[in-house]
A and B are shown apart, each in its own frame.
Chain A
Amino acid sequence: MVLPSLRKSKSEYDTTLIADEFAVNLQNGIVVVLNGDLGAGKTFFIKQVLQKFNVTNANSPTFAIVNEYYGDKTFYHFDFYRINKESELHDIGIEDYFNDEQSIIFIEWGNLFPDVLPKKRIEINISYINEQEREFNFIEYE
């Protein structure tokens, strides 16, 4: 997928195709931030991407804060939704995860704590259009 990119999905199947296309962009060291309201499909999208790397146990880390997956590559999957203050992220050693550049990092609700995000990252903003349809806006920051 060439970034930036704007994609519309009319169904879960469409989203799967977009996820497949996006998966090609993922190399070790990339940080992907996903923003969107509850139910927008952030976790669904990540699950679809991870399937391409033979990760089948992906799940929402809302309560665990971070999940680690080991498939064809190593993935750290964060969810900032339940984080109350930035210091909690330092308390779980988020810098150590960022320092592991032999992995790929997904962050749901990254927009809640923009100060901790690395400058170089991909952001995916997911907008809810209706029950079935979503808009995916992919932006690359250097």
Chain B
Amino acid sequence: MNDIYPLLAIETSDSICGACVYFSEEKFFSSKLVLKHSHAEKLFEVIKSVLAMASITQNELKAIAVSNGPGSFTGLRIGMSAAKGIAQSLSIPIIPVPTFEALAFQISSYLSEGSTFLISNKVGRDEVYFAKFQITGNNYIFKEELKIIPISELNLITKDILIFGNTFDLNSEKSISTKRISAPDAEFIAKWAVTFGINKMVTDIDFLEPNYLKDFIVKEKKND
């Protein structure tokens, strides 16, 4: 199992542009920035900074874990492109990490046993990605599978439940408890990958794509 360390983790699915060089639970180097429309420009700087902190060169990396969505279309593409570029050049494998599960994993480390919570992130103006989790034995289980629902449906569900994600503005008048954490930190991408993702490792990366959930290959109509 040691042949995946050091592992580079990348998170770009939402507002966080983050990277982590991960050796073990006791030793990792993580960095992030939050700046709109900056992922393409800043991701490699963030990666360089964590490599420098860890005092290793890129060539020493053994595997890459990348936040695989769902999330921002452009953000996910940037993260996946970077991961593929590095993986290809070093002939190392990629572990695609389901973003909502990594976030649930992170949240479950803060909340008490038995807590139930939702994560809902925007798809567009009218729809949200939605999943419901419960914490059992320091881990999370799905209470409702990840799916896309109309935002109006969310308004009906979210009475008195802990909700994470970017769906509501902090100053919105909604009377629900809203936590604005909408993306995992890069070290939780790494932790998810090493805890649950080893058997998801991909060496033939050509066809690896982000999971947008929503089928972006839409029905094509004729314009006349």
Contacts and interface: CB of A to CB of B under 8 A. Distances in A.
B124 A98 contact: yes
Contacts of A96: 72-75
Interface of B: 36, 72-75, 77, 122-126, 166, 169, 216-221, 223
Contact of A98 (B125, B166, B223): B125
A118 interface: yes
Contacts of B73: 90, 93, 95-96
A130 interface: no
B72 A86 contact: no
B74 A86 contact: no
Contacts of B216: 87, 90-91
Interface residues of A, number: 19
Contacts of A101: 169
Majority secondary structure, B binding face = loop
30 contacts: A85-B220, A86-B218, A86-B220, A87-B216, A87-B217, A87-B218, A87-B220, A90-B73, A90-B216, A91-B216, A93-B72, A93-B73, A93-B74, A95-B73, A95-B122, A95-B123, A95-B124, A96-B72, A96-B75, A98-B124, A98-B125, A99-B122, A100-B36, A101-B169, A112-B223, A118-B124, A118-B125, A118-B126, A119-B125, A120-B125
Q: Which of A99, A100, A120 has the most CB of B within 10 A?
A: A99
A131 interface: no
A100 B223 CA distance: 28
A112 B126 CA distance: 19
Nearest to A99: B122
